Amino acid sequence: MFPIEDGSQYQYNVLEDDVKELLEDSEWLAGYKEGVQIVSKAWGWDIDARKTIEGEGIGWTGWDVRLAKMIRSLWIFGIEDYKDSLQNFAWTVKPTGGLSYGYICLDEVLYM
């Protein structure tokens, strides 16, 4: 759902030409952005308003790796407004940094 260039499953990685092709596909791009909105909302974040939201059954799940992958994917696709918003969310849930996947530090996405 949120393609990156260096995932563990090479067949799903996107390269520069892939990114260009996908960005030219308006239907794909709309679905991609909708996916970011849905996941963000499930975590209690309004990506467009850049603020936390409350509701039954929503809230941060602690999936650092998913959040980091989404930020990285948005960076690769040059969708700066959503990338910046999710970075703000990351700082909200991890105010001192510390995004991780096991022993791997994922904080680089906070500075992209």
DSSP secondary structure code for residue 15 in this structure: -
C-alpha dihedral sign at 90, 94, 100, 101: negative
Q: Report how far residue 85's alpha carbon sits from residue 66's, in angstroms, rounded to the nearest whole number.
A: 15
Q: What are the C-alpha distances in Å from 99 to residues 6, 71, 85, 95?
A: 17, 12, 16, 10
With pLDDT > 70 as the criterion, what percentage of the chain qualifies?
A: 100
Q: Are residues 45 and 53 in contact, defined by beta-carbon separation less than 8 angstroms?
A: yes
pLDDT at 7: 82
Task: Dump pLDDT digits (tens) for 48-96.
Answer: 999 999 999 999 999 999 999 999 999 999 999 999 999 999 999 999 9
Task: Dump pLDDT digits (tens) for 3-56.
Answer: 999 888 888 899 999 999 999 999 999 999 999 999 999 999 999 999 999 999
Could you list the beta-strand ranges (E) of 1-112.
45-46, 51-52, 100-101, 104-105
pTM over 0.75: yes
For the chain, how many residues are written?
Answer: 112
